[in-house]
Chain A
Amino acid sequence: MTALRGQVAVVGIGNTRRWNAPGRTPFDQAQEAAILALEDCGLGLKDVDGLFCAISSSGLPVLNMAEKLGIRPRHADGTMVGGASFLFHLQAAVSALAHGLCDVALIVYGSNQLSAGGRLVSMPDPQPYEAPYRPRYPISSYALAASRHMHTYGTTREQLAEVALSARAWANLNPDAFARGPLTRDAVLGARMISDPLSKADCCLVTDGGAALVLTRADRAMDMKAAPVYVLGTGTAVSHRQIAAMPDLATTAAVESGQRAYAAAGLGPRDIDHVMVYDAFTITTLMFLEDLGFCAKGEGGPYIASGAIAPDGSLPVNTNGGGLSCNHPGMYGLFTLVEAVAQLRGICGARQVAGCEVALAHANGGVLSSQATAILGSAATL
């Protein structure tokens, strides 16, 4: 356990729940989420002195965000490692708050990926050693990893389909999910192939959206409107940029980020009541559950096929419906934390996990390139 365990708390969450919102920029979504998160805890913009922000379409997101919100933060961090950025921000915010570099930290994100349609500006990060071969970005990289997992462990497309079906079953319990309604095994397995072995049904949604978190030191967290959710431990890992440089395509650096987070929290997989893993594709849910120790390495396929992660299963995973069925606005990572906090507060209605005291949120960035794990807990876990 580290000295930082429980020193910092999430006191405010904001979620715009606007998955298809034409006429709004990414910064509009982000500003709305920031306002919601601050109102949620009862703080104001003038209280924010630490700003953490990444936006896919902006090279200088912190500067744009601070100007638009009219704040002058004394600490800022625009670390950009793809969809895991916001959990890297969380780890940095915990450290900055604990060391007095700031007193109120705001982590914020927004996207208009769906409504911007073809006008979406992709990240300027050319890969000259991939470009001649025209991989479809990013799905072909995940498909290559899936091919390796299938070859090494015998994982099947039928097992991957169970990930999509479980996500939809959870989404059907969440009135805010974008993709709701019946989904059949035949529909998933019959979906159009995009980059073998992954089909359209293996891919996350494309939506708009915005999310934000407000954090303070634990002493101050007691005075906020909602019950504080404590950061028990975090862990991050950076592995590679291009998929060809990944050391083992069937094992992710979630092994490392997870071990770091468990060690910091003094907990293990058996202590976790609720799990959020970044499901950019069905294969990522499967690999992260293995690499974070919820089942043995290589057993992810049979584990998921047993119904373990469906709403009536033994481990509640991606209870909002995940990136596959709830929302996926370009970079989804911050939404794993928003749902984890909501579950720990006990405000999730039909999808609420009973007796939820410890939650694990895990995010991925790039092409399995960056991994970040956070373990959050209620006051009972301190």
Chain B
Amino acid sequence: MSADPRFDRPGPDDVFNAALAEGRFRLQRCRVCGAMRCPPGLVCLACGSPDLAWVAVSGAGEVYATTTVRAREGDYNVAIVALAEGPRMMSRVEGLAPEAVAIGMKVMARIAPEPEPHVVFKPVEHQP
């Protein structure tokens, strides 16, 4: 018996991080039901199918929850952003005072390079 070839591809965390290192924000979309998941994994969280395809993420999102972490080295934002494609992720909204980040704010992703590539957000110019 050999290993099941459906799972031969590299682990999803490695694929996600390799894409970020190339400047691309990619997540998996279910080939059966179309749901996207974040963080990456081996099954669709909506229907349980293991048939997932890597696709580009638009980067558009909306602040779902927000907090300002008070720190000696300077206060900073931690937020949960709901991506336009559906899933939520922890991130940071930059470009304004941390306490000015508000639930419902429209934001757009960019990849911050340091210390390791990671996705952060900034408000879009024209809030609806």
- Residues of A at the B interface (CB closer than 8 Å) are 128-130, 132-136, 140, 143-145, 147-148, 151, 192-198, 242-245, 249
Q: Are A140's CB and B69's CB within 8 A?
A: yes
Do A195 and B68 contact each other (CB < 8 Å), given the known contacts A128-B13, A135-B90, A244-B89? Answer: yes
Can you list 8 pairs linking A and B with CB atoms under 8 Å apart? A129-B38, A144-B66, A147-B103, A151-B103, A151-B104, A194-B69, A195-B67, A249-B65
Which of B69, B76, B79 has the most chain A CB atoms closer than 10 A to its own CB? B69
Q: Tell me what chain A mostly uses at the interface: helix, strand, loop, or mixed.
A: mixed
Determine if B80 is an interface residue (Cβ-Cβ < 8 Å). yes
Which of B38, B39, B115 has the most chain A CB atoms closer than 10 A to its own CB? B39
Tally of contact residues, B, Cβ under 8 A? 25
Determine if B88 is an interface residue (Cβ-Cβ < 8 Å). yes
* A148 in complex: contacting residue of B38, B39, B64, B78, CB < 8 Å: B64
Chain B positions within 8 Å of A132 at CB level? 115-116, 118
Q: Are B68's CB and A243's CB within 8 A?
A: no
* A147 in complex: contacting residue of B13, B66, B88, CB < 8 Å: B66
Q: Are A129's CB and B90's CB within 8 A?
A: yes
Chain A positions within 8 Å of B38 at CB level? 129
Q: How far apart are B60's CB and chain A's nearest CB, in angstroms?
A: 17
Chain B positions within 8 Å of A134 at CB level? 69, 76, 78
Q: Are A136's CB and B69's CB within 8 A?
A: yes
* A133 in complex: contacting residue of B65, B91, B104, CB < 8 Å: B91
Q: Which of B86-118 contact A (CB under 8 A)?
A: 88-92, 99, 103-104, 115-116, 118
Chain B positions within 8 Å of A245 at CB level? 88
Which of B67, B78, B118 has the most chain A CB atoms closer than 10 A to its own CB? B67
Chain A positions within 8 Å of B6 at CB level? none
Q: Are A144's CB and B13's CB within 8 A?
A: no
Q: Are A135's CB and B69's CB within 8 A?
A: yes
Q: A247–B4 Cα gap in the complex (Å)?
A: 32
